[in-house]
Amino acid sequence: MMNHANAETSRRAAAILREFLPGGEIGSVVAGNVLRGGGVTLELVNPADGLLFASFADAGASVVDAAMQAARPAQQQWWSLSAAARGRAMWEIARLVRQNAEVLAELETISAGKPIRDTRGEVAKVAEMFEYYAGWCDKLHGEVIPVPTSHLNYTRHEPVGTVVQITPWNAPIFTAGWQIAPAICAGNAVVLKPSELTPLTSLVLGVLCDRAEGMPRGLVSVLAGAGPTTGAAAVAHPDTRLVVFVGSAEAGAQIAAASARNIVPSVLELGGKSANIVFADADLARALVGAQAAIFGGAGQSCVAGSRLLVHRSIHADFVERLAKAAARIPTGLPTDPATQIGPINNRRQLDKIDGMVRAAVTAGARIAAGGACPEALRDTGGFFYGPTIIDEVGADAAIAREEVFGPVLAVLPFETEEEAIALANATPFGLAGAVWTNDVGRAHRVAAAVRAGTFWVNGYKTINVASPFGGFGRSGFGRSSGREALMTYTQTKSVWVETAANPGVAFGYVG
Ligand code: NAD
Protein backbone atom coordinates (compact mmCIF):
# COMPACT_ATOMS: atom_id res chain seq x y z
CA MET A 1 0.00 0.00 0.00
CA MET A 2 1.29 3.45 -0.90
CA ASN A 3 1.89 5.86 1.94
CA HIS A 4 0.56 9.37 1.78
CA ALA A 5 3.09 11.93 0.72
CA ASN A 6 4.71 14.11 3.36
CA ALA A 7 4.51 17.54 1.77
CA GLU A 8 7.22 19.25 3.81
CA THR A 9 9.86 16.52 3.40
CA SER A 10 9.01 16.16 -0.30
CA ARG A 11 9.42 19.92 -0.78
CA ARG A 12 12.76 20.03 1.04
CA ALA A 13 14.20 16.99 -0.77
CA ALA A 14 12.99 18.35 -4.14
CA ALA A 15 14.52 21.78 -3.40
CA ILE A 16 17.90 20.19 -2.66
CA LEU A 17 17.70 17.92 -5.69
CA ARG A 18 16.85 20.87 -7.97
CA GLU A 19 20.28 22.34 -7.14
CA PHE A 20 21.89 19.30 -8.74
CA LEU A 21 19.46 17.49 -11.05
CA PRO A 22 17.60 19.44 -13.80
CA GLY A 23 14.03 20.06 -12.58
CA GLY A 24 14.82 17.98 -9.50
CA GLU A 25 13.79 14.86 -11.39
CA ILE A 26 15.37 11.67 -10.05
CA GLY A 27 17.20 9.65 -12.67
CA SER A 28 20.59 8.15 -13.40
CA VAL A 29 23.56 10.52 -13.64
CA VAL A 30 25.44 9.66 -16.82
CA ALA A 31 28.04 11.90 -18.49
CA GLY A 32 26.58 15.12 -17.14
CA ASN A 33 22.99 14.18 -18.01
CA VAL A 34 20.17 12.79 -15.96
CA LEU A 35 18.60 9.82 -17.72
CA ARG A 36 15.06 8.82 -16.87
CA GLY A 37 14.62 5.09 -16.28
CA GLY A 38 12.34 2.85 -18.31
CA GLY A 39 11.33 0.39 -15.58
CA VAL A 40 8.82 0.19 -12.74
CA THR A 41 8.25 3.06 -10.33
CA LEU A 42 10.35 2.88 -7.15
CA GLU A 43 9.24 4.81 -4.08
CA LEU A 44 11.31 6.65 -1.50
CA VAL A 45 9.94 6.69 2.04
CA ASN A 46 11.09 8.94 4.88
CA PRO A 47 12.06 6.54 7.69
CA ALA A 48 11.19 9.17 10.32
CA ASP A 49 7.48 9.25 9.46
CA GLY A 50 6.92 6.30 7.14
CA LEU A 51 5.59 8.58 4.39
CA LEU A 52 6.40 8.60 0.71
CA PHE A 53 8.41 11.66 -0.32
CA ALA A 54 9.64 10.94 -3.86
CA SER A 55 9.62 8.32 -6.60
CA PHE A 56 11.53 7.47 -9.75
CA ALA A 57 11.59 4.90 -12.55
CA ASP A 58 13.99 1.94 -12.36
CA ALA A 59 16.90 2.63 -14.75
CA GLY A 60 16.98 -0.74 -16.55
CA ALA A 61 19.40 -2.19 -19.09
CA SER A 62 19.39 0.65 -21.64
CA VAL A 63 20.49 3.24 -19.07
CA VAL A 64 23.15 0.80 -17.84
CA ASP A 65 24.38 0.53 -21.41
CA ALA A 66 24.48 4.33 -21.79
CA ALA A 67 26.63 4.55 -18.64
CA MET A 68 28.96 1.87 -19.96
CA GLN A 69 29.26 3.61 -23.34
CA ALA A 70 30.16 6.86 -21.58
CA ALA A 71 32.64 5.15 -19.27
CA ARG A 72 34.96 3.76 -21.90
CA PRO A 73 36.18 7.01 -23.58
CA ALA A 74 36.12 8.82 -20.23
CA GLN A 75 38.42 6.20 -18.74
CA GLN A 76 40.83 6.44 -21.67
CA GLN A 77 40.91 10.22 -21.35
CA TRP A 78 41.41 9.98 -17.58
CA TRP A 79 44.29 7.52 -17.84
CA SER A 80 45.98 9.65 -20.51
CA LEU A 81 46.20 12.60 -18.07
CA SER A 82 49.26 13.01 -15.91
CA ALA A 83 48.97 11.38 -12.48
CA ALA A 84 49.28 14.83 -10.89
CA ALA A 85 46.37 16.12 -13.00
CA ARG A 86 44.20 13.22 -11.82
CA GLY A 87 45.12 14.09 -8.25
CA ARG A 88 44.13 17.74 -8.77
CA ALA A 89 40.73 16.69 -10.18
CA MET A 90 40.14 14.49 -7.14
CA TRP A 91 40.95 17.42 -4.84
CA GLU A 92 38.27 19.35 -6.74
CA ILE A 93 35.69 16.65 -5.98
CA ALA A 94 36.63 16.88 -2.30
CA ARG A 95 36.26 20.67 -2.42
CA LEU A 96 32.79 20.41 -3.95
CA VAL A 97 31.74 17.83 -1.33
CA ARG A 98 32.87 20.20 1.43
CA GLN A 99 31.14 23.14 -0.26
CA ASN A 100 27.83 21.21 -0.38
CA ALA A 101 28.32 19.31 2.88
CA GLU A 102 25.30 20.66 4.72
CA VAL A 103 22.73 19.91 2.00
CA LEU A 104 24.27 16.49 1.41
CA ALA A 105 23.95 15.70 5.12
CA GLU A 106 20.37 16.96 5.16
CA LEU A 107 19.42 14.91 2.11
CA GLU A 108 21.02 11.81 3.62
CA THR A 109 19.13 12.34 6.87
CA ILE A 110 15.81 12.64 5.02
CA SER A 111 16.29 9.57 2.86
CA ALA A 112 18.32 7.21 5.07
CA GLY A 113 16.86 8.31 8.43
CA LYS A 114 20.34 8.73 9.91
CA PRO A 115 20.78 11.33 12.66
CA ILE A 116 22.06 14.62 11.28
CA ARG A 117 25.07 14.50 13.63
CA ASP A 118 26.09 11.22 11.93
CA THR A 119 25.44 12.32 8.36
CA ARG A 120 27.46 15.52 8.86
CA GLY A 121 30.38 13.39 10.01
CA GLU A 122 29.98 10.92 7.15
CA VAL A 123 29.88 13.62 4.47
CA ALA A 124 33.08 15.13 5.90
CA LYS A 125 34.64 11.65 5.67
CA VAL A 126 33.70 11.48 1.98
CA ALA A 127 35.72 14.63 1.33
CA GLU A 128 38.65 13.09 3.24
CA MET A 129 38.45 9.96 1.09
CA PHE A 130 38.90 11.95 -2.13
CA GLU A 131 41.70 13.98 -0.53
CA TYR A 132 43.50 10.86 0.67
CA TYR A 133 43.38 9.18 -2.72
CA ALA A 134 44.15 12.43 -4.56
CA GLY A 135 47.50 12.19 -2.82
CA TRP A 136 48.01 8.63 -4.02
CA CYS A 137 47.52 9.39 -7.74
CA ASP A 138 51.18 10.28 -8.35
CA LYS A 139 52.58 7.79 -5.84
CA LEU A 140 51.10 4.65 -7.34
CA HIS A 141 53.99 3.20 -9.26
CA GLY A 142 55.55 -0.14 -9.97
CA GLU A 143 58.98 -1.44 -9.10
CA VAL A 144 62.12 -2.61 -10.84
CA ILE A 145 62.80 -6.29 -10.23
CA PRO A 146 66.45 -7.47 -10.15
CA VAL A 147 66.02 -10.41 -12.56
CA PRO A 148 69.09 -12.62 -13.29
CA THR A 149 69.07 -11.99 -17.07
CA SER A 150 70.21 -8.96 -19.10
CA HIS A 151 66.72 -7.46 -18.94
CA LEU A 152 65.30 -4.44 -17.27
CA ASN A 153 62.12 -5.82 -15.69
CA TYR A 154 59.59 -3.44 -14.21
CA THR A 155 55.94 -3.48 -13.16
CA ARG A 156 53.10 -1.09 -13.93
CA HIS A 157 49.87 -0.89 -11.94
CA GLU A 158 47.30 -0.33 -14.65
CA PRO A 159 43.57 0.32 -14.23
CA VAL A 160 41.18 -2.55 -14.85
CA GLY A 161 38.84 -0.33 -16.91
CA THR A 162 35.20 0.05 -15.89
CA VAL A 163 34.29 -0.94 -12.34
CA VAL A 164 30.72 -1.66 -11.23
CA GLN A 165 30.07 -0.82 -7.59
CA ILE A 166 26.86 -1.83 -5.80
CA THR A 167 26.13 -0.37 -2.37
CA PRO A 168 23.54 -0.80 0.45
CA TRP A 169 21.26 1.65 2.27
CA ASN A 170 22.88 2.02 5.68
CA ALA A 171 25.61 4.60 4.90
CA PRO A 172 24.94 5.56 1.28
CA ILE A 173 27.21 8.52 0.54
CA PHE A 174 29.94 7.28 2.88
CA THR A 175 30.06 3.92 1.08
CA ALA A 176 29.92 5.59 -2.35
CA GLY A 177 32.93 7.79 -1.54
CA TRP A 178 34.73 4.86 0.11
CA GLN A 179 34.54 2.92 -3.17
CA ILE A 180 34.66 5.63 -5.87
CA ALA A 181 37.80 7.37 -4.57
CA PRO A 182 40.27 4.44 -4.78
CA ALA A 183 38.74 3.26 -8.07
CA ILE A 184 39.29 6.53 -9.92
CA CYS A 185 42.62 7.14 -8.20
CA ALA A 186 43.81 3.92 -9.85
CA GLY A 187 42.65 5.21 -13.26
CA ASN A 188 39.30 3.44 -13.62
CA ALA A 189 35.82 4.53 -14.63
CA VAL A 190 33.00 3.76 -12.17
CA VAL A 191 29.37 2.80 -12.68
CA LEU A 192 27.85 2.91 -9.20
CA LYS A 193 24.46 1.49 -8.32
CA PRO A 194 23.37 2.60 -4.85
CA SER A 195 20.47 0.98 -3.03
CA GLU A 196 17.10 1.78 -4.60
CA LEU A 197 15.99 2.75 -1.07
CA THR A 198 18.59 5.53 -0.69
CA PRO A 199 19.98 6.64 -4.07
CA LEU A 200 19.77 10.43 -3.67
CA THR A 201 23.08 11.44 -2.10
CA SER A 202 25.00 9.07 -4.39
CA LEU A 203 23.32 10.70 -7.40
CA VAL A 204 24.37 14.12 -6.13
CA LEU A 205 27.92 12.84 -5.59
CA GLY A 206 27.87 11.69 -9.24
CA VAL A 207 26.87 15.22 -10.28
CA LEU A 208 29.70 16.70 -8.20
CA CYS A 209 32.17 14.33 -9.89
CA ASP A 210 30.96 15.62 -13.27
CA ARG A 211 31.20 19.23 -12.12
CA ALA A 212 34.74 18.94 -10.75
CA GLU A 213 37.29 20.66 -12.95
CA GLY A 214 39.53 18.14 -14.70
CA MET A 215 37.13 15.19 -14.39
CA PRO A 216 36.04 13.68 -17.72
CA ARG A 217 32.24 13.50 -18.02
CA GLY A 218 31.11 9.90 -17.75
CA LEU A 219 34.05 8.76 -15.61
CA VAL A 220 31.64 8.32 -12.69
CA SER A 221 28.04 7.37 -13.49
CA VAL A 222 25.42 6.67 -10.83
CA LEU A 223 22.41 4.50 -11.61
CA ALA A 224 18.99 5.02 -10.04
CA GLY A 225 17.58 1.53 -10.00
CA ALA A 226 16.85 -1.78 -8.33
CA GLY A 227 19.25 -4.67 -7.74
CA PRO A 228 17.83 -7.60 -9.70
CA THR A 229 17.18 -5.38 -12.76
CA THR A 230 19.61 -2.46 -13.04
CA GLY A 231 22.29 -3.91 -10.73
CA ALA A 232 22.23 -7.31 -12.43
CA ALA A 233 22.44 -5.68 -15.90
CA ALA A 234 25.54 -3.73 -14.80
CA VAL A 235 27.23 -6.85 -13.38
CA ALA A 236 26.57 -8.81 -16.58
CA HIS A 237 27.56 -6.02 -19.01
CA PRO A 238 30.39 -7.03 -21.36
CA ASP A 239 32.37 -3.82 -20.58
CA THR A 240 32.43 -4.53 -16.82
CA ARG A 241 35.92 -5.51 -15.65
CA LEU A 242 35.48 -5.67 -11.84
CA VAL A 243 32.47 -5.80 -9.51
CA VAL A 244 32.69 -4.40 -5.99
CA PHE A 245 29.67 -5.23 -3.84
CA VAL A 246 28.76 -4.02 -0.36
CA GLY A 247 25.64 -5.58 1.13
CA SER A 248 24.07 -8.81 2.31
CA ALA A 249 25.62 -12.26 1.93
CA GLU A 250 22.60 -13.47 -0.07
CA ALA A 251 22.85 -10.78 -2.75
CA GLY A 252 26.66 -10.99 -2.61
CA ALA A 253 26.65 -14.70 -3.48
CA GLN A 254 24.40 -14.04 -6.50
CA ILE A 255 26.57 -11.16 -7.65
CA ALA A 256 29.82 -13.11 -7.27
CA ALA A 257 28.31 -15.94 -9.33
CA ALA A 258 27.08 -13.53 -12.01
CA SER A 259 30.51 -11.84 -12.10
CA ALA A 260 32.22 -15.21 -12.52
CA ARG A 261 29.90 -15.99 -15.46
CA ASN A 262 31.12 -12.71 -17.00
CA ILE A 263 34.78 -13.74 -16.26
CA VAL A 264 35.11 -10.75 -13.99
CA PRO A 265 36.55 -10.73 -10.45
CA SER A 266 34.44 -9.53 -7.55
CA VAL A 267 35.09 -8.00 -4.16
CA LEU A 268 32.47 -8.69 -1.50
CA GLU A 269 31.97 -6.62 1.63
CA LEU A 270 29.20 -8.39 3.51
CA GLY A 271 27.69 -8.41 6.95
CA GLY A 272 28.95 -9.40 10.37
CA LYS A 273 28.14 -10.58 13.88
CA SER A 274 31.05 -8.99 15.60
CA ALA A 275 32.08 -9.83 19.16
CA ASN A 276 32.88 -7.12 21.68
CA ILE A 277 34.77 -8.88 24.49
CA VAL A 278 34.95 -7.32 27.97
CA PHE A 279 37.33 -8.80 30.56
CA ALA A 280 36.98 -8.08 34.26
CA ASP A 281 40.36 -6.25 34.29
CA ALA A 282 39.18 -3.64 31.76
CA ASP A 283 38.43 0.03 32.41
CA LEU A 284 34.75 -0.81 32.83
CA ALA A 285 33.47 2.77 32.60
CA ARG A 286 35.02 3.10 29.16
CA ALA A 287 33.96 -0.39 28.14
CA LEU A 288 30.39 0.48 29.10
CA VAL A 289 30.34 3.48 26.74
CA GLY A 290 32.21 1.48 24.09
CA ALA A 291 29.66 -1.33 24.20
CA GLN A 292 26.84 1.17 23.56
CA ALA A 293 28.68 2.93 20.74
CA ALA A 294 29.52 -0.42 19.16
CA ILE A 295 25.93 -1.55 18.77
CA PHE A 296 23.67 1.48 18.99
CA GLY A 297 25.53 3.86 16.62
CA GLY A 298 23.55 4.10 13.36
CA ALA A 299 20.72 2.27 15.19
CA GLY A 300 22.80 -0.88 14.77
CA GLN A 301 22.56 -0.64 10.97
CA SER A 302 26.28 -0.91 10.62
CA CYS A 303 28.18 -3.82 9.13
CA VAL A 304 30.80 -3.66 11.92
CA ALA A 305 28.25 -3.32 14.76
CA GLY A 306 29.40 -5.00 17.97
CA SER A 307 26.20 -7.01 18.14
CA ARG A 308 27.51 -9.69 20.53
CA LEU A 309 28.75 -8.63 23.95
CA LEU A 310 30.94 -11.30 25.50
CA VAL A 311 31.41 -10.35 29.12
CA HIS A 312 33.32 -12.10 31.91
CA ARG A 313 30.93 -13.94 34.21
CA SER A 314 32.28 -12.20 37.35
CA ILE A 315 31.05 -8.79 36.09
CA HIS A 316 28.20 -9.98 33.83
CA ALA A 317 25.14 -9.17 35.96
CA ASP A 318 26.39 -5.76 37.08
CA PHE A 319 27.64 -4.77 33.60
CA VAL A 320 24.32 -5.70 31.92
CA GLU A 321 22.35 -3.79 34.55
CA ARG A 322 24.44 -0.65 34.04
CA LEU A 323 24.26 -1.06 30.28
CA ALA A 324 20.47 -1.39 30.35
CA LYS A 325 20.14 1.80 32.39
CA ALA A 326 22.50 3.67 30.06
CA ALA A 327 20.72 2.39 26.92
CA ALA A 328 17.40 3.75 28.13
CA ARG A 329 18.99 7.22 28.35
CA ILE A 330 20.45 7.37 24.80
CA PRO A 331 18.64 10.18 22.93
CA THR A 332 16.41 8.33 20.45
CA GLY A 333 14.21 10.34 18.12
CA LEU A 334 13.83 12.34 14.96
CA PRO A 335 17.00 12.20 12.86
CA THR A 336 16.77 15.91 12.04
CA ASP A 337 17.19 16.79 15.74
CA PRO A 338 20.92 17.48 16.37
CA ALA A 339 20.61 15.86 19.82
CA THR A 340 19.42 12.51 18.43
CA GLN A 341 21.90 9.65 18.62
CA ILE A 342 19.57 6.82 17.56
CA GLY A 343 17.26 7.53 14.64
CA PRO A 344 14.79 5.25 12.89
CA ILE A 345 15.47 1.99 11.09
CA ASN A 346 15.84 2.66 7.37
CA ASN A 347 12.79 0.76 6.13
CA ARG A 348 9.67 -1.10 7.24
CA ARG A 349 10.96 -4.50 6.08
CA GLN A 350 14.11 -4.17 8.17
CA LEU A 351 12.08 -2.99 11.17
CA ASP A 352 9.85 -6.08 10.91
CA LYS A 353 12.92 -8.31 10.57
CA ILE A 354 14.48 -6.83 13.72
CA ASP A 355 11.29 -7.20 15.74
CA GLY A 356 10.81 -10.77 14.48
CA MET A 357 14.33 -11.75 15.57
CA VAL A 358 13.83 -10.21 19.03
CA ARG A 359 10.47 -12.06 19.47
CA ALA A 360 12.09 -15.34 18.37
CA ALA A 361 14.92 -14.86 20.89
CA VAL A 362 12.41 -14.36 23.70
CA THR A 363 10.48 -17.46 22.61
CA ALA A 364 13.79 -19.36 22.72
CA GLY A 365 14.25 -18.36 26.38
CA ALA A 366 16.29 -15.14 26.29
CA ARG A 367 15.49 -12.17 28.54
CA ILE A 368 15.02 -8.60 27.33
CA ALA A 369 17.08 -6.39 29.66
CA ALA A 370 16.27 -3.15 27.75
CA GLY A 371 14.16 -2.02 24.79
CA GLY A 372 12.49 -4.64 22.62
CA ALA A 373 9.95 -2.28 21.05
CA CYS A 374 9.38 1.18 19.58
CA PRO A 375 9.91 3.73 22.40
CA GLU A 376 6.59 4.96 23.80
CA ALA A 377 7.21 8.62 22.88
CA LEU A 378 7.79 7.78 19.21
CA ARG A 379 4.80 5.49 18.60
CA ASP A 380 2.66 8.18 16.98
CA THR A 381 5.32 9.38 14.54
CA GLY A 382 4.67 6.62 12.01
CA GLY A 383 8.47 6.30 11.78
CA PHE A 384 10.38 3.02 11.86
CA PHE A 385 11.77 3.45 15.37
CA TYR A 386 13.09 0.64 17.56
CA GLY A 387 14.49 1.28 21.02
CA PRO A 388 18.04 0.25 21.99
CA THR A 389 17.61 -3.39 22.95
CA ILE A 390 19.71 -5.67 25.16
CA ILE A 391 19.03 -9.38 25.19
CA ASP A 392 20.55 -11.36 28.04
CA GLU A 393 20.70 -15.06 28.88
CA VAL A 394 21.24 -15.90 25.24
CA GLY A 395 22.26 -19.45 24.32
CA ALA A 396 25.47 -19.60 22.25
CA ASP A 397 23.58 -21.56 19.57
CA ALA A 398 20.55 -19.25 19.48
CA ALA A 399 19.85 -17.44 16.22
CA ILE A 400 20.20 -14.06 17.97
CA ALA A 401 23.78 -15.01 18.92
CA ARG A 402 24.75 -16.17 15.42
CA GLU A 403 22.78 -14.25 12.78
CA GLU A 404 23.09 -10.62 11.79
CA VAL A 405 20.16 -8.49 13.00
CA PHE A 406 21.29 -5.17 11.47
CA GLY A 407 19.45 -3.19 14.11
CA PRO A 408 19.96 -1.81 17.65
CA VAL A 409 19.94 -5.25 19.28
CA LEU A 410 22.74 -6.51 21.52
CA ALA A 411 23.01 -10.20 22.45
CA VAL A 412 24.92 -10.79 25.71
CA LEU A 413 26.89 -13.99 26.37
CA PRO A 414 28.96 -14.54 29.55
CA PHE A 415 32.28 -16.40 29.49
CA GLU A 416 34.68 -17.84 32.09
CA THR A 417 38.11 -18.01 30.43
CA GLU A 418 40.09 -16.30 27.67
CA GLU A 419 39.92 -19.51 25.61
CA GLU A 420 36.15 -19.62 25.94
CA ALA A 421 35.86 -15.95 24.93
CA ILE A 422 37.91 -16.56 21.79
CA ALA A 423 35.92 -19.70 20.94
CA LEU A 424 32.64 -17.79 21.34
CA ALA A 425 33.94 -14.87 19.28
CA ASN A 426 34.83 -17.27 16.47
CA ALA A 427 31.60 -19.26 16.68
CA THR A 428 29.92 -17.55 13.71
CA PRO A 429 30.60 -17.91 9.99
CA PHE A 430 31.23 -14.14 9.80
CA GLY A 431 34.55 -12.37 10.37
CA LEU A 432 34.17 -8.66 9.83
CA ALA A 433 35.25 -7.02 13.10
CA GLY A 434 35.67 -7.43 16.84
CA ALA A 435 37.10 -5.81 19.94
CA VAL A 436 38.59 -6.61 23.31
CA TRP A 437 38.53 -4.49 26.48
CA THR A 438 41.34 -5.36 28.89
CA ASN A 439 44.27 -3.73 30.69
CA ASP A 440 46.44 -6.82 30.23
CA VAL A 441 48.64 -5.98 27.23
CA GLY A 442 49.61 -9.59 26.54
CA ARG A 443 45.98 -10.68 26.57
CA ALA A 444 45.04 -7.82 24.25
CA HIS A 445 47.49 -9.02 21.59
CA ARG A 446 46.66 -12.71 22.09
CA VAL A 447 42.96 -12.08 21.58
CA ALA A 448 43.57 -9.70 18.64
CA ALA A 449 45.57 -12.44 16.93
CA ALA A 450 43.13 -15.25 17.71
CA VAL A 451 39.81 -13.69 16.67
CA ARG A 452 39.02 -14.24 12.99
CA ALA A 453 38.09 -10.75 11.78
CA GLY A 454 39.25 -8.23 9.19
CA THR A 455 39.26 -5.36 11.71
CA PHE A 456 39.95 -5.60 15.44
CA TRP A 457 40.04 -2.95 18.15
CA VAL A 458 41.75 -2.98 21.54
CA ASN A 459 40.02 -0.80 24.16
CA GLY A 460 37.90 0.92 21.54
CA TYR A 461 35.36 0.28 18.83
CA LYS A 462 34.40 1.44 15.33
CA THR A 463 37.35 3.60 14.41
CA ILE A 464 37.88 3.15 10.70
CA ASN A 465 39.83 5.37 8.37
CA VAL A 466 40.34 5.64 4.64
CA ALA A 467 44.09 5.09 5.17
CA SER A 468 43.62 1.67 6.78
CA PRO A 469 42.57 -1.51 4.91
CA PHE A 470 39.04 -2.75 5.55
CA GLY A 471 37.31 -6.02 4.67
CA GLY A 472 36.06 -9.34 5.91
CA PHE A 473 37.21 -12.83 6.78
CA GLY A 474 34.96 -15.85 6.15
CA ARG A 475 31.36 -15.09 5.21
CA SER A 476 31.96 -11.38 5.72
CA GLY A 477 33.52 -11.33 2.26
CA PHE A 478 36.83 -10.99 0.48
CA GLY A 479 39.03 -8.22 -0.92
CA ARG A 480 40.00 -4.99 0.79
CA SER A 481 38.69 -1.44 0.50
CA SER A 482 40.61 1.65 1.57
CA GLY A 483 44.24 2.24 2.31
CA ARG A 484 47.01 1.31 -0.09
CA GLU A 485 45.59 -2.20 -0.38
CA ALA A 486 42.48 -0.96 -2.17
CA LEU A 487 44.70 0.31 -4.97
CA MET A 488 45.77 -3.28 -5.61
CA THR A 489 42.08 -4.25 -5.79
CA TYR A 490 41.51 -1.61 -8.44
CA THR A 491 44.60 -2.28 -10.59
CA GLN A 492 46.12 -5.08 -12.57
CA THR A 493 49.87 -5.47 -12.57
CA LYS A 494 51.78 -5.64 -15.83
CA SER A 495 55.35 -6.99 -15.95
CA VAL A 496 57.48 -5.37 -18.70
CA TRP A 497 60.77 -6.97 -19.91
CA VAL A 498 63.26 -4.80 -21.79
CA GLU A 499 66.32 -6.43 -23.34
CA THR A 500 69.47 -4.42 -22.51
CA ALA A 501 72.24 -6.73 -23.84
CA ALA A 502 74.36 -5.46 -26.79
CA ASN A 503 73.96 -8.65 -28.82
CA PRO A 504 71.21 -10.70 -27.26
CA GLY A 505 70.26 -14.11 -28.53
CA VAL A 506 66.59 -14.83 -29.07
CA ALA A 507 65.86 -18.10 -27.33
CA PHE A 508 62.98 -20.45 -27.95
CA GLY A 509 61.07 -21.40 -24.79
CA TYR A 510 61.20 -19.77 -21.38
CA VAL A 511 64.42 -18.10 -20.24
CA GLY A 512 65.38 -16.41 -17.06
P1 NAD B 1 21.29 -5.99 -0.08
O2 NAD B 1 22.27 -7.07 -0.30
O3 NAD B 1 19.87 -6.31 -0.08
O4 NAD B 1 21.47 -4.86 -1.20
C5 NAD B 1 22.71 -4.25 -1.43
C6 NAD B 1 22.75 -3.73 -2.85
O7 NAD B 1 22.72 -4.83 -3.75
C8 NAD B 1 21.57 -2.83 -3.23
O9 NAD B 1 22.06 -1.78 -4.04
C10 NAD B 1 20.69 -3.76 -4.05
O11 NAD B 1 19.89 -3.09 -4.98
C12 NAD B 1 21.75 -4.61 -4.75
N13 NAD B 1 21.31 -5.93 -5.22
C14 NAD B 1 20.51 -6.80 -4.59
N15 NAD B 1 20.36 -7.92 -5.35
C16 NAD B 1 21.09 -7.74 -6.47
C17 NAD B 1 21.35 -8.53 -7.64
N18 NAD B 1 20.82 -9.75 -7.80
N19 NAD B 1 22.18 -8.03 -8.59
C20 NAD B 1 22.74 -6.82 -8.45
N21 NAD B 1 22.52 -6.01 -7.39
C22 NAD B 1 21.71 -6.47 -6.39
O23 NAD B 1 21.77 -5.29 1.28
P24 NAD B 1 21.05 -4.13 2.07
O25 NAD B 1 19.84 -4.71 2.71
O26 NAD B 1 20.91 -2.93 1.19
O27 NAD B 1 22.16 -3.79 3.17
C28 NAD B 1 22.30 -4.48 4.36
C29 NAD B 1 23.45 -5.47 4.31
O30 NAD B 1 24.65 -4.84 3.88
C31 NAD B 1 23.77 -6.04 5.67
O32 NAD B 1 23.95 -7.43 5.59
C33 NAD B 1 25.10 -5.38 6.04
O34 NAD B 1 25.87 -6.07 6.95
C35 NAD B 1 25.74 -5.24 4.72
N36 NAD B 1 26.78 -4.19 4.75
C37 NAD B 1 28.11 -4.56 4.68
C38 NAD B 1 29.11 -3.60 4.73
C39 NAD B 1 30.56 -3.96 4.67
O40 NAD B 1 31.37 -3.11 4.35
N41 NAD B 1 30.96 -5.17 4.97
C42 NAD B 1 28.76 -2.25 4.83
C43 NAD B 1 27.42 -1.92 4.90
C44 NAD B 1 26.43 -2.91 4.83
pLDDT at 327: 96
Residue 386, ligand 1, Cβ within 6 A: no
- Please check whether residue 169 lies inside any domain of the structure: yes
Confidence of residue 76 (pLDDT cuts 50, 70, 90): very high
Residue 196, ligand 1, Cβ within 6 A: yes
Q: Does 250 share its domain with 292?
A: no
Q: What is the CATH number of the domain that holds 244?
A: 3.40.605.10
Confidence of residue 5 (pLDDT cuts 50, 70, 90): low
- DSSP assigned state of 186: T
Cβ neighbours around 258 below 10 Å, total:
18
Annotated catalytic, 137? Answer: no
Bridge partner list, 220: 190
User: Average pLDDT, stretch 78-87?
Assistant: 98
- 24-35: pLDDT as tens digits: 899 999 999 999
- 247-274: pLDDT as tens digits: 999 999 999 999 999 999 999 999 999 9
**Ligand 1: distance of its center to the CA of 15 in Å?**
29
Q: Which atom of ligand 1 is nearest to the CA of 272?
A: 34
User: Average pLDDT, stretch 218-241?
Assistant: 98
Which residue has its alpha carbon closest to ligand 1 atom 16? Answer: 227
pLDDT at 505: 82
**Half-sphere exposure at residue 74, Cβ-oriented, CA atoms within 13 angstroms:** 26
In percent, the amount of the chain with pLDDT more than 70 equals: 99
**Ramachandran area for residue 4 (φ above 0: left; ψ -120 to 50: alpha; else beta):** beta
pTM to 2 decimal places: 0.96
Q: Does 416 share its domain with 486?
A: no
- Please check whether residue 428 lies inside any domain of the structure: yes
Annotated catalytic, 303? Answer: yes
Q: What is the CATH number of the domain that holds 312?
A: 3.40.309.10
Residue 269, ligand 1, Cβ within 6 A: yes
pLDDT of 369 > 70? The answer is yes
Residue 305, ligand 1, Cβ within 6 A: no
Full residue range of the structural domain in which residue 279 is found: 275-458
Q: Does 77 share its domain with 182?
A: yes
**Ligand 1: distance of its center to the CA of 247 in Å?**
3
Instruction: Please state, in angstroms and rounded to a whole number, the distance separating the CA atoms of residues 186 and 224.
Output: 25
Q: Does 312 share its domain with 224?
A: no
Q: Does 372 share its domain with 231?
A: no
Q: Does 265 share its domain with 342?
A: no
Residue 434: its H or E element: strand 433-437
Residue 206: its H or E element: helix 200-211
pLDDT at 433: 98
- Please check whether residue 324 lies inside any domain of the structure: yes
pLDDT at 4: 62
Q: Does 308 share its domain with 430?
A: yes
**Ligand 1: distance of its center to the CA of 168 in Å?**
4
pLDDT of 100 > 60? The answer is yes
pLDDT at 22: 84
Closest CA to 485 of 191, 268, 182: 182
Q: Does 345 share its domain with 407?
A: yes
Q: Does 226 share its domain with 324?
A: no
**One-letter identity of residue 439:** N
- Please check whether residue 511 lies inside any domain of the structure: no
Cβ neighbours around 463 below 10 Å, total:
8
pLDDT of 3 > 60? The answer is no
- Please check whether residue 501 lies inside any domain of the structure: no
Q: Does 281 share its domain with 377?
A: yes
**Half-sphere exposure at residue 171, Cβ-oriented, CA atoms within 13 angstroms:** 26
239 within 8 A of 189, measured Cβ to Cβ: no
Q: Does 37 share its domain with 158?
A: yes
Residue 454, ligand 1, Cβ within 6 A: no
Which among 137, 185, 209, 303 is annotated as catalytic? 303
- Please check whether residue 467 lies inside any domain of the structure: no
Residue 122, ligand 1, Cβ within 6 A: no
Which among 92, 131, 196, 269 is annotated as catalytic? 269
Domain count, the chain: 2
Q: Does 165 share its domain with 314?
A: no
User: Average pLDDT, stretch 144-158?
Assistant: 97
User: Average pLDDT, stretch 173-190?
Assistant: 98
User: Average pLDDT, stretch 71-97?
Assistant: 98
